[in-house]
Structure 1
């Protein structure tokens, strides 16, 4: 009898386990349905629309907890279908990427965990003119030294690309593609001879919408690298150009053509202790309208971010004396650190940036000057300055 009861107990236990498994399966099946579908969510309600440039913001109510997310489907331009999802924990979504201002049909669905959609709710949005078209209208292209300069406004601070084209040999050629996110700015492209040529500009956005192309013919202004053999040291009141290393690191080293990894005879370095600001001056040998210059800091790995001028100013004058009233500040400059590492740290990217030289633009319309004054406001560390080379471009 004991054995019989044990067998019956075992059978009851097995039946209980089986019942539990069936119950779990039934629960799962109730959630997912016979084909993984589940209960259809209710339709989205109370939709409000705020139309903005190139997009529309939709707010709505989710009627039940059976919704996992809200789905919007629409054509952003003819033949291009986009879909946007938003979690059930949000009450809004943004439909974007529209190629032009106008009216567009958007279909909204509530969707459950089994990807079952509610009945569709169709609405009409009317986005305003998209950012890439707004930028095109703002573009102004002008001649500058050795090339062209493009001014733009981007009031939506959208991520856009401005594409510059030119015509060569009767064919259109890509010159540069500029990534833009700022509200306004200027884009510079150089490397052209001073001869009339046709340029084109268009704007594209991250949704592969392209603007029309605008064309104009311009003649880049003539520029050349100034002849360093004409450069000469000046010693003006208030300047400090006392060289380090027993006069081996003298000022004339900054126009000897050696730009990196030399010896003390190849860069200019002052002795310690003069403090900052610290200035030195030189004669370019000609009166020139400057277009740009390249600064080569000391580039050895030990010193690239040590005694290189970090913040500095370039001043110009046609009077070779130390009276600051005869000098005009041309441009404020900063030596950057591309890696963004803290002071005292840098990597190979930073060293490559230094070794290739750092370009600075001279503002268009700057008068012609003969004498240059370099005013160091601060270095990265240390109590002196070190510079390999300065190279200037412009027209005499």
Structure 2
């Protein structure tokens, strides 16, 4: 009996293997060259060509392939199945005329005679982004802003000069969002060069982009990190309790992303926190970090604040009514990809760890700060977050 079972097992494996082999190759092979595609129409697009055609009337057709030379001089190939009557070639970094050879290929891997077409791509997305980029002075450094209307995946190298005066990459941003901005910070208020280079997945890259100034230099706006050790807790009548569960009010100001502040979720919106900064300041910017006590587990969800306003006052008002405070900024936490809760891109995660950053348009002198949350990412009644950090100028 054991021998019979072994024999049956071997037979089944042999049959399955044989079926697999037959599925990989056509049952009947021939040497008949397939018919060519017809009525080819080439439409230039940014960085590429859209090619449409009529397929030959053949049930044996497997795919259509295009052979061409990239802007970098390399031979490349694109395939489109027999269920489509079009293919797209992307990745050209110039607008020179391109020659494309199109072939029909059948299930026996027979290849037709070529159809040769030409077309000149429109401007590469890399250079469209380059044209839109602006580099301007920012607090502690420079701000880079650009438009990516085609949502092309690109990397953008943000650069400045090192101690030897050489230009080097300080940070690389990976993005495909429509409108994006980023800043390099941590520099003294002295003239220095900032620059950027844009690169796509096909290794096309822009010229080096500089600030639009005579000497290509910018002077970073002065700011300083506001020392958290001088902060004082203030609790007004309509403030929420930020010490609930494992949270603590002071965990928002301990520079530890593993600790959190947490509310019970029973307070009506907005949930407010009040802080004495300990000194009079004009704030330049602040960052809010979502809950990071479990890495990315709670990213863009789980009670993290979504919309909130921040208020300030030079002197502590007699009233706790927000209308008696100066509205400094209306804020909204942004997820770069816009994808649903639970789905995060690399860009989303990078943004999560960098924190939501907000700059102030006006230099308003304050000492007291209020953080009022109106909604959370997932609609939770409770709120939790890891850290709030401030930069600005201290008023002596």
Q: Is the Cα–Cα contact under 8 Å of residues 144 and 183 in structure 2 kept in the other structure?
A: yes
The question of 1:162 aligning with 2:160 is answered no
> In 1, Cα distance between the equivalents of 2:253 and 2:56?
77
Q: 1:131 to 1:309 in 2, by over 3 A?
A: closer
Give the alignment of 1:42-191 within 5 angstroms. Answer: 42-65=35-58, 66-77=60-71, 79-168=73-162, 169-191=164-186
Q: Which has the larger radius of gyration?
A: 1
For residue 391 of structure 1, what is the aligned residue in structure 2?
389
Query: Normalization by structure 1: what TM-score?
Result: 0.74
> In 2, Cα distance between the equivalents of 1:353 and 1:116?
48
Unaligned runs of 5+ in 1: 1-27
Cα offset, 1:328, TM superposition: 0.9
Cα offset, 1:165, TM superposition: 2.1
For residue 377 of structure 1, what is the aligned residue in structure 2?
374
The question of 1:257 aligning with 2:254 is answered yes
> In 2, Cα distance between the equivalents of 1:353 and 1:54?
28
CA RMSD of aligned residues (A): 3.9
Q: 1:249 to 1:206 in 2, by over 3 A?
A: closer
> In 2, Cα distance between the equivalents of 1:73 and 1:230?
67
The question of 1:274 aligning with 2:267 is answered yes
The question of 1:363 aligning with 2:359 is answered yes
Q: Is the Cα–Cα contact under 8 Å of residues 309 and 335 in structure 1 kept in the other structure?
A: no
Q: 2:187 aligns with which of 192, 195, 200?
A: 192
SS in 1 for 2:276: strand
> In 2, Cα distance between the equivalents of 1:121 and 1:382?
60
Aligned residues: 349
For residue 225 of structure 2, what is the aligned residue in structure 1?
225
> In 2, Cα distance between the equivalents of 1:29 and 1:136?
49
> In 2, Cα distance between the equivalents of 1:239 and 1:231?
20
> In 1, Cα distance between the equivalents of 2:87 and 2:294?
52
Unaligned runs of 5+ in 2: 1-24, 211-215
SS in 2 for 1:365: coil
Q: Deviations over 1:278-300 (max 9, x none)?
A: 21322322122232234475847
Cα offset, 1:186, TM superposition: 1.0
> In 2, Cα distance between the equivalents of 1:31 and 1:272?
69
Q: 1:272 to 1:73 in 2, by over 3 A?
A: closer
> In 1, Cα distance between the equivalents of 2:226 and 2:26?
82
> In 1, Cα distance between the equivalents of 2:100 and 2:303?
60
> In 1, Cα distance between the equivalents of 2:269 and 2:96?
60
Q: Is the Cα–Cα contact under 8 Å of residues 292 and 359 in structure 1 kept in the other structure?
A: no
> In 2, Cα distance between the equivalents of 1:30 and 1:275?
71
Q: 1:141 to 1:84 in 2, by over 3 A?
A: same
Residue range with higher mean Cα deviation, 132-141 or 181-190: 181-190
